[in-house]
Structure 1
Amino acid sequence: MTKQYFSSGDNIPFTTSKASLSLAVPEGSCDCHHHIFDPDNFAYRDEDTTNIPTATVAMYKQLQNKIGFSRNVIVTPSAYGTNNQCTLDAMQQLGDSARAVVTIDDSFSFSQLQEMDQLGVCGIRFMITEFEDLDLGLIQRCAEKIAPLNWHICFWVTADMIVAMKDLLFSLPCDVVFDHRGHLPAGEGIKHPAFDIICQLMNANKAWVKVSAAYHDSKSGSPSFSDTLAIGKAYIATNADKILWGTDWPHPSETIAGNVMPDDVHLLNLLSVQTNNDAELIQKVLVDNPKILYRFYTNHRSEIA
């Protein structure tokens, strides 16, 4: 049977967006985490086994218009490895309202990073699912390489890895960002030691947290996602100046698992639960904080570029 990636209502790809938008979305809101997949024009790496279906800029803009966001951050997905051409192409299609987070390794020269900086790249990402792939040396070397550009490192890692990386995280010469609440495991939540480490980093002005994709690590599940929302609320209570939000569209983890696509409008509405519907907090999470981290200024490039 062919999988259904479209809603029955708006026909927006990769979402079952049936909810009505109840959150008051402020002007300049930013989706800090989404991907673009375009295998017809940019082939996946040979090792990729996910085979995520095509999810283009045109498709994403349908969702962006639906939720009323004007800014976005494209994150290179694991399907492309260190080939960032699809992400860079998408960023150019979307113009000055877009930024990007890319994947690199030791082979990237500083001049290559400067070229990407000129285009609007402002960070790199490590997606690490297995401890055996956790290369602290590579992370350190990449951090030293990007620090002069004032980029950050985005981590998609397990909570146990965050504990193992504690000393490194505090010593890195750049900011760090934790995807999806730091993947605190269901059943433990803020009791996991990674929560305190992340909060310490936030309060030391070294870390940011995405309270995105409530379905990740949730045992309570839809529609309440009460467990992951409680974690998000705890982060916001710790330091609201370091909180970000994103759609995670087109939800590759859910495609891989064969799950029903999330309702993106509902997930956005749930930000009101995490912020107690405080307009000032919503403004910080959706507008003010992304503006700082992703450099949404007239000149978005780094000082050195």
Structure 2
Amino acid sequence: MSLTAADAPLCLPPRPLNRAPRALPDGTVDTHFHVFADGVPLASPRSYTPHVRTLADWQAYAAAVNIAQGVLVQPSVYGFDNSVLLEALAADRANLRGIVVLHPETDKAEFQRLDALGVRGVRVNTRNKGGLPFTAIAALSARIADLGWMLQFQVRPAQLEELAALLPAITCPVVLDHLGFLDLDAADADAQLAKIQQLLDAPDCYAKLSAPYRLTRAAGFPAFADAARQLLASHPERLLWGSDWPHTELFDRMPDDAELIELTHDWLGDESVAHQVLVTNAQTLFFSR
């Protein structure tokens, strides 16, 4: 089956990189990107239909902005079929890691096999069709703690309190996609951000400064910039950065990658803070072995 919009709308393709932005620091890790292959079955139901975008496409983008390493994240449209991600990992084992989607009952040997291939965590996605639910957390946490893996969560803001209540029972690091999908245009945006602050107070909880266009629609994303700066002031050691390339599930407008990189420089500000978020935190979490 090729990528078709028979079961879900076709999202926009990424825009070509139209200019060279300021280079990211040497050693930068992109902790959130996806790849999509033709001919691989898509989950049904699903939330969107992607365009084909290969590892080579991401590598061209990465080279243009000075990204050194990356973390592939299993997209919801592939469900439990991690084959596209694993094929990409095999192409550059030294510089790539992966976050997969697995059934909690997956046997120990399979976890160990995936670990050897560069997998470093499991994604729990309660926001999209085809993702793992919260009910999988306890079993997964117990299975992956000894491997040094993490649980990566894509949730809705309304679920942040529920996630906070579950943290004491989770025995591995926790990573939040896209700042917990905060609605930064909402009247209660400050209260939502406070919940992220509280989560980051917990041991081994991290959040990704990524996908500002999913959190606010204002040009230049000033609300995201304000939120990022507040978190950078309080929890710089708990923040990661991801490109979210190729920006799936967008149907009416597509961000400019060069602008996103320039804005990232602006949000991070201080060179030492930028290095911590873009390089040190991510390399420690994903590339320490």
The whole-number CA distance in structure 2 between the counterparts of 1:206 and 1:197 is 16
Alignment partner, residue 27 of structure 1: 26
Equivalent position amino acid for 1:230 in 2: D
Amino acid at match of 1:29: T
Question: SS of 1:70's equivalent?
Answer: strand
Gaps of 5+ in 1: 6-13, 301-305
Cα distance in structure 2, aligned partners of 1:3 and 1:150: 35
1:27-67 deviation per Cα after TM superposition (whole angstroms, max 9, x unaligned): 11111100011132x32224346221111111111111111
Q: What is aligned with 1:8? A: none
Cα distance in 2, alignment partners of residues 45 and 179 from structure 1: 21
Change (3 A) 1:53 1:136: closer
Deviation at 1:189, TM superposition (A): 6.3
From 235, 257, 260, the counterpart of 1:264: 257
Q: Could you tell me how far apart the structure 2 residues matched to 1:89 and 1:134 are?
A: 22
Q: Is the 8 A contact 2:89 2:96 kept in 1?
A: yes
Report the equivalent of 1:17.
Answer: 17
- TM-score normalised to the size of structure 1? 0.84
Tell me if the contact between 1:210 and 1:246 (Cα under 8 Å) persists in the aligned partners: yes
Q: Which residue of 1 aligns with 2:4?
A: none
Partner of 1:39: 38
Q: Secondary structure at the match of 1:266?
A: helix
> In the aligned structure 2, how far is the partner of 1:238 from the partner of 1:49?
35
Cα deviation, 1:284-303, whole Å, max 9, x if unaligned, reads: 11110001110x24xx2xxx
Q: Matched residue of 2:25: which SS?
A: coil
Q: CA RMSD in A?
A: 2.2
How many Å separate the matches in 2 of 1:98 and 1:270?
25
Q: Could you say which residue in structure 1 is the equivalent of 2:285?
A: 293
User: How far apart, in 2, do the equivalents of 1:134 and 1:91 lie?
Assistant: 22
What's the offset of the Cα at 1:16?
Answer: 4.4
Deviation at 1:107, TM superposition (A): 3.4
Percent of counterpart pairs with the same letter?
A: 27
Residue 231 of structure 1, CA deviation: 1.3
Alignment of 1:105-124 (within 5 A): 105-124=103-122
Q: Partners of 2:188 and 2:29 in 1: how far apart?
A: 26
- SS for the counterpart of 1:96 is coil
Structure 2: gaps (5+ residues):
1-9
Distance 1:49 1:168 in 2: 26
CA distance in 1, matches of 2:128, 2:71: 26
CA distance in 2, matches of 1:44, 1:73: 21
1:283 alignment partner, one of 260, 275, 279:
275
Deviations 1:81-100 (A, max 9, x none): 01111101111113310000
Q: 8 Å contact 1:36–1:87 — kept in the other structure?
A: yes
**Preserved CA contact (<8 Å) 1:31 1:71:** yes
Q: Offset at 1:164?
A: 2.2
For residues 151 and 93 of structure 2, what CA distance do their matches in structure 1 show?
Answer: 23
- How far 1:198 sits from its partner (Å)? 2.8
1:77 alignment counterpart? 75
The code of the aligned residue for 1:21 comes to P
1:11 alignment partner in structure 2: none
1:3 CA drift (Å): 8.6
Retained in 2: the 8 A contact 1:217–1:228? Answer: yes
Give the whole-Å Cα distance in 1 for the aligned partners of 2:72 and 2:137: 21
SS at match of 1:219: coil
TM-score calculated relative to the size of structure 2 = 0.89
Deviations 1:233-267 (A, max 9, x none): 1111111011111111111121xx2x332111211
Change (3 A) 1:189 1:175: farther
Paired letter, 1:271: T
Alignment size in residue pairs: 278
For residue 95 of structure 1, give the secondary structure of its aligned residue in structure 2.
coil
Distance 1:89 1:52, change over 3 A: same
SS at match of 2:27: coil
Corresponding residue for residue 229 of structure 2: 233
Change in CA separation of 1:130 and 1:266 when aligned onto 2, cut-off 3 Å: closer
